[in-house]
Amino acid sequence: MPLDFSALNQRQSDSFVAQKTLLKKLMLGKTCLCDSCKQALSVKFDEQAGIAYVKCKRGCTELQLEFGR
Ligand SMILES: [Zn+2]
């Protein structure tokens, strides 16, 4: 059975775009809410690694996002 990767790739790029948008908002100091629990997301920037750690209080959202320069 051939595997259909196109749907998967589409989903991944959708969430990639969503994460980029989220990161942009967070970097501007805007409040973003967790999709699941609707609590405010907190973000911690590791400038040296170029990674932003995003999470909500309950832990249903835990993202590591790279931010380019
Ligand atoms: Zn949450």
Q: How far is the CA of 40 from the centre of ligand 1 (A)?
A: 8
* pTM assigned to the model: 0.75
Q: Report, in this order, helix, strand and coil percent for the chain, each rounded to 5.
A: 35, 30, 40
d(CA 67, CA 8): 23
Per-residue confidence in pLDDT tens, the chain, 69 aa? 667 778 777 888 888 899 999 999 999 999 999 999 999 999 999 999 999 999 999 999 999 999 876
What is the pLDDT at residue 62?
A: 95
Q: How far is the CA of 9 from the centre of ligand 1 (A)?
A: 25
Q: How far is the CA of 4 from the centre of ligand 1 (A)?
A: 31
* Burial of 22 from C-beta contacts in 10 A (0-12 / 13-18 / 19+): buried
* Count of structural domains, the chain: 1
E-strand stretches of 1-69: 41-46, 51-56, 62-66
- Asked if 61 and 36 touch (Cβ cutoff 8 Å), the reply is yes
What is the pLDDT at residue 51?
A: 95
What is the pLDDT at residue 8?
A: 73
Q: How far is the CA of 42 from the centre of ligand 1 (A)?
A: 10
Q: Domain range for residue 13?
A: 5-66
